Amino acid sequence: MSAPSVSTPKSFRHAAVIYRGIDEMVDRVAPFIAEGVALDEPVLVAELPDRVRALTAALGADADRVTFLDMAEVGRNPARIIPAWREFVGAHPGQAVRGVGEPAWAGRSPAELAECQLHEALLNVAFDGLADFELLCPYDADALPGDVVAGAMRTHPDVGTFARAEDYGGHEHALLQFQRRLTDPPADAVEILFREEDLAVLRSIVRRLCEGARLDRDVTEDLVLAVHELATNSVRHGSGGGVLRGWQEAAAAVFEVADLGVIGDPLVGREPVSEWSESGRGLWMANQLCDLVQVRSSDLGTTVRLHTWA
């Protein structure tokens, strides 16, 4: 009689590595990549172009067996990064895979860095127990604000030999981040209460504000579509309506749609949905159309904030 098979739980290993300067990053990250290549594991590296060049040079011939993505492109909106990792893991069923991803870098705005921190927390929700996947996330301590580096220690169960500033927060931390309120809109933001009969007016208002921000026509139409989808969701799922707010920032147009509905899944908008699905379609579309999307939801309601750079 043959022995019963024993299933091995799928393990997601999520580690941060803190470095100072690009040379130290290469010293700490290149061996992790080379180890994956030696084990014949699929390896995906999502990094900024200068880091890709430095890692490629350090890896030599091994670099030909690694897939590289430009993080400045795939991670411009951090909500697009988890779908990229899902696609990579899904392309190698039954295999152990590993990756390197650096979503936070110098020059990111405070709103972008907040979304990078939420993204890192949500990675644990997206992959824990679902994939044999080892992900290393570098953080440049010389270039990033201290609270971002400290935040990495809340979102990564492993930070190597670097002392944690705070304990790893797990899924509970991810949910708390998703429920946390966004910063208040500026006092001069346009604010309009809307219901279903007001949707056409909202589209006109969004176009006018985009024109004031001197956005290209195609970009404007993308924003009009994204706001319309979100406002329609508010009508259907947010007690029949909501609030649209819009304002301009330096070289950017910002819109937010708020309502009394509650979203229970913090990964909403980060997973593809079918064309006929009503759940998550608007947020998925917004993430594809906008440079940055911030979603927060709690018992007090839901706010979705869209940023597009001029």
Distances (CA, A) of 156 to 10, 25, 175, 251, 280: 17, 18, 15, 33, 27
Q: Which is it for strands 133-140 and 97-101: parallel, antiparallel or unpaired?
A: parallel
**For residues 36 and 100, what is the distance between their CA atoms, to the nearest angstrom?**
11
* CATH 3.30.565.10 domain range(s) in the chain: 190-309
CATH number corresponding to 190-309: 3.30.565.10
CB 262 within 8 A of CB 296: no
Confidence check: pLDDT of 174 > 70: yes
Question: Residue 162's pLDDT band (boundaries 50, 70, 90)?
Answer: low
Instruction: Give the end-to-end CA distance of the chain in Å, rounded to a whole number.
Output: 69
Nearest by Cα to 28 from 40, 37, 38, 15: 15
Predicted TM-score (pTM) of the model is 0.92
Tokens of 301: 């309601």
Please determine, looking at this structure, whether the domain spanning 12-179 carries the CATH number 3.40.50.300.
yes
Tokens of 71: 């993080």
* CATH 3.40.50.300 domain range(s) in the chain: 12-179
Confidence check: pLDDT of 165 > 60: no
**For residues 182 and 295, what is the distance between their CA atoms, to the nearest angstrom?**
9
In the chain, what percentage of residues exceed pLDDT 90?
Answer: 82
